[in-house]
Amino acid sequence: MNTIEISPEELGLIAESGTLKLPSDSIHNHLHAVSEGAKVQRAQLEGIELSALILCAVQLEELKKVNHGLPWKEWVKSNCDFSYMTATKYARVLKSGRAGRIPNLHPESIPETAPSAMSAEELREACTTLAASLEGLGGIRQLYLELEIITNGKSPKLGGPKDSEQEEKTAADDLSIAEQDAITTYRQIIEDLDQAKRLNQLQHLPTETRAEIAEDLQAHLKILTA
């Protein structure tokens, strides 16, 4: 059956234009076809919706590795058109996908390369592969519920066991993200120092500046080893 390209607001017009040309005993078949076509289109759009989410998460993952001079949370707030909480949810979806927890989605179909580093053909192929695998899973909210990233609002009263478990899980996720931010920041410092050593930049530093930097490094070393 061919997909009927239809938006919700056009349903009435399409139903009317089609039924006026049909015998009254065929109208039900036409409306059934409209319903089925919209169902197919909705599933396709949901697949595209989820594939875009995962590719966005892959891109954010790559951006997080870069030293922006800001904590990751602050960078997201300053550079993203969505909240840090949304970015966190995207990261959890990506983690679940790579762990094989998303139905019908093979972990190897999730690209390791950031979309910004892909060619147009590679990006198109990644979108198509992901969208085809994710069709029929519902939209973003349904996936969040499936992965227990959000609850359905039917949990016990506030303060009940499930709420406490969810709060603990959220707190643990936030702690994990903060830990990764800290590791990334300090690892980047080591990488920058190694890069300076490879480029032999030390020879360009005045003696006084060398002493100041060495003193600062020793002070930070004491803090790290405290």
Per-residue DSSP letters for 80-104?
-SS-HHHHHHHHHHHHHHHTT-STT
What is residue 199's predicted lDDT score, i.e. its pLDDT? 74
Please check whether residue 96 is in contact with residue 145, taking contact to mean a CB–CB distance below 8 angstroms.
no
In the three-class reduction of DSSP (H, G, I as helix; E, B as strand; rest coil), residue 132 is classed as helix
Q: What is the pLDDT of residue 184?
A: 65
| Model pLDDT, residue 22 | 54
pTM passes above 0.85: no
End-to-end alpha carbon distance in the chain:
69
CB-based contact 143:97 (threshold 8 Å): no
Mean pLDDT, consecutive 10-residue segments, the chain of 226 residues?
A: 50 54 64 76 84 94 84 89 91 93 92 92 92 86 88 49 54 60 69 76 81 82 77
Q: CA–CA distance from 154 to each of 93, 137, 138, 158, 163 (Å)?
A: 22, 21, 19, 11, 10
